[in-house]
Amino acid sequence: MSKRVIIGTAGHIDHGKSALVKALTGIDPDRLKEEKERGITIELGFAHLALPSGTLAGIIDVPGHEKFVRTMVAGAAGVDILMLVIAADEGVMPQTREHLDICRLLSIRHGLVVLNKCDKADEEWLALLEEDIGKFVSGTFLEGAPVVRVSAATGEGLTGLIGELDRIAAGVTGKDPSLFFRLPVDRSFSMKGFGTVVTGTLVGGTIRAGDEVRILPAGPVARVRGLQVHGGPAEFSTAGTRTAVNLQGVEKESAPRGSVLCSPGTLFPTRIVETYIEYLPLAPRPLKNRAQVSFHAFTSSTLARVLLYGTVEIPPGGSGYARIHLADEMVLLGGDRFILRGFSPLENFGYTVGGGRVLHPLPPRRKGAARAVPAALPMLDSAEIGTRIMAAIEDSGWQGLEDREAAAITGSGPESSVREIAKGVESGQLRRVEGNTRVWHRSAVEDVGRNAIEALSVLHKRFPDREGFPRDEISTLLPGGPDPGLVALSLAGAAEAGKTGDFYYLPAKRPRSVELSSPLARAITEKARQAGLNALSRTELTESL
């Protein structure tokens, strides 16, 4: 199968992004009547291009107007190669700056600068402009990248641009098909004779015609009636590919932009995420604890409140860890990138104040205000899958994690997650109960064991006549009522506890049988005879002996 990449445009309004896409592909990305009448892009536009090497490129054209940056973020998420378009007759403008910062925060690593409308400037001006552009991109992923002179109007430089895009595409590592299947929806519509169609970029996994998919965060399960890739029908589509999905049995309202297609039972929506935030130097003021922001990830956005860890504020140009509460549910995995925007425009820039990456999409509850950075977060930011898996499971405490949860939290593929968990079990760092789908860290098992011993002591005192207690009963006395399988696992390794059948006990507190002919038995019988109808309690009898 041919290599697939996604190319995205970025740049200020009226710098010729859509005209450039049309000149490269012959496809007009502006499809709305209003876009054609006003001469500006309002919604995302899409095209495709076969590069000389055979690589197939999907192209996403984003709006340049500052009012549509939310739409721009939706398009930029998932882009492999950036075409930063700058008009030769205007140079670097406010949305040029904001778009480049957004792309950097989204961790786009490849790209070039397209100096468009070169037919409107002389050589001396173009040379000065290229010098300014070099300073502008210094310190970003575009530092040292090609600056290609073109004119979308005349066709000048387009062949050279295609060659540069092909060269850059050769160095792009494709998105991982072993990850969970996930398609953030950027467009949803009804098509006569077909029904609901959604489009998006596969950020992981593979989808096939006939598959069942769940529409998150709150939608139904639907069946894939058909697929289109690069304008033609396809039996399947893989990670990194622009894809149109014809869904059977659902209305378009059930799969709006911002929703996510996934395989049933694999992913989950969340309203709380733990993150690492990068705050832009251009931000007008520090990011305060409990600040309200607009949160954007892939094709969805919502209001959010930021709770900082280990500090009361992050200064402009600073960074830090935070727990973010989302107003609406979103589907996020560990490693996903996001953008933070404010509510007042910055001078000569826009509303974007920062961004970052998700470290834990389903964090446990944590106590305390102005709390310290949780120990797990730096490890969840590790490049090593094994380190992230171990940190997520240890952080889950008594609850433990299922394999799929560990994979989603760490942003690793399900196969990688299973492999790393197996290594942990083999080393003794992780523990499993046979027949149970959950896995626990050794520290959690030991902690539950200590608490279970205390619970057994309480039960023996409360029911002194009973010889032992089932794991379910012991679990009810422990905080949160942990999985009975975990209780059994923890007591199996506790030297203080014994087990007969399905019952656990503390040998020192277990009732002892007494020979009826022994002195103790005769003394008990005599005390009972003396008490007559006034039967003694166990405590009274014990004290009298």
Q: Return phi, psi of residue 138, to 5°.
A: -60, 135
Is 14's pLDDT higher than 70? yes
Cβ proximity of 14 and 87 under 8 Å:
yes
Average pLDDT over residues 65-92: 80
Q: What is the pLDDT of residue 337?
A: 95
Average pLDDT over residues 300-329: 96
Q: What is the pLDDT of residue 344?
A: 66
Q: How many C-beta atoms surround the C-beta of residue 140 within 10 A?
A: 16
pLDDT in tens, 124-155: 999 999 999 999 999 999 999 999 999 999 99
Average pLDDT over residues 353-370: 86
CA–CA dist 181, 350 (Å, integer): 34
CA–CA dist 314, 300 (Å, integer): 25
Consecutive H or E run containing 439: strand 438-441
Q: What is the pLDDT of residue 543?
A: 66
Q: What is the pLDDT of residue 218?
A: 81
Q: And the tokens for 128? A: 């000065």
Confidence of residue 212 (pLDDT cuts 50, 70, 90): very high
Determine how β-strand 147-149 pairs with β-strand 182-191: unpaired
Average pLDDT over residues 39-63: 78
Is 360's pLDDT higher than 70? yes
pLDDT in tens, 162-188: 999 999 999 998 788 889 999 999 889
Q: What is the pLDDT of residue 340?
A: 95
Is 326's pLDDT higher than 70? yes
Q: What is the pLDDT of residue 413?
A: 87
HSE toward the beta carbon, residue 109, CA cutoff 13 A: 6
Cβ proximity of 536 and 528 under 8 Å:
yes
Average pLDDT over residues 12-22: 85
Is 516's pLDDT higher than 80? no
Q: What is the pLDDT of residue 544?
A: 64
Instruction: Express as a percent the part of the chain with pLDDT over 90.
Output: 61
Is 520's pLDDT higher than 90? no
Q: What is the pLDDT of residue 38?
A: 43
What contacts 24+ positions apart, CB below 8 Å, involve 397-401?
397/364, 397/444, 397/447, 398/440, 398/444, 398/447, 398/448, 398/478, 398/480, 398/482, 398/483, 398/486, 399/364, 399/480, 399/482, 400/438, 400/439, 400/440, 400/441, 400/444, 400/483, 400/486, 401/438, 401/439
Confidence of residue 225 (pLDDT cuts 50, 70, 90): very high
Q: What is the pLDDT of residue 66?
A: 56
The pTM (predicted TM-score) of the whole model is 0.86
Q: What is the pLDDT of residue 1?
A: 63
Q: And the tokens for 434? A: 């046979």
pLDDT in tens, 373-383: 999 999 999 99
Helices (H), 343-441: 376-380, 385-395, 403-410, 414-427
E-strand spans in 88-230?
Answer: 110-116, 147-149, 182-191, 195-201, 206-208, 212-216, 221-229
Stretch among 49-53, 57-61, 103-107, 309-313 having the lowest mean pLDDT = 57-61
Q: What is the pLDDT of residue 84?
A: 96
Q: What is the pLDDT of residue 454?
A: 93
Q: What is the pLDDT of residue 513?
A: 59
pLDDT in tens, 423-478: 999 999 999 988 788 999 999 999 999 999 999 999 999 998 888 999 999 999 99
Mean pLDDT of the chain: 88
Is 370's pLDDT higher than 70? no
Instruction: List the domains of the chain with CATH numbers.
Output: 4-170 (3.40.50.300), 182-262 (2.40.30.10), 375-512 (1.10.10.10), 513-545 (no CATH)
Instruction: Express as a percent the part of the chain with pLDDT over 70.
Output: 89
Q: How far is CA 408 from CA 123, 183, 270, 274, 384, in A?
A: 52, 15, 12, 14, 15
CA–CA dist 424, 187 (Å, integer): 42
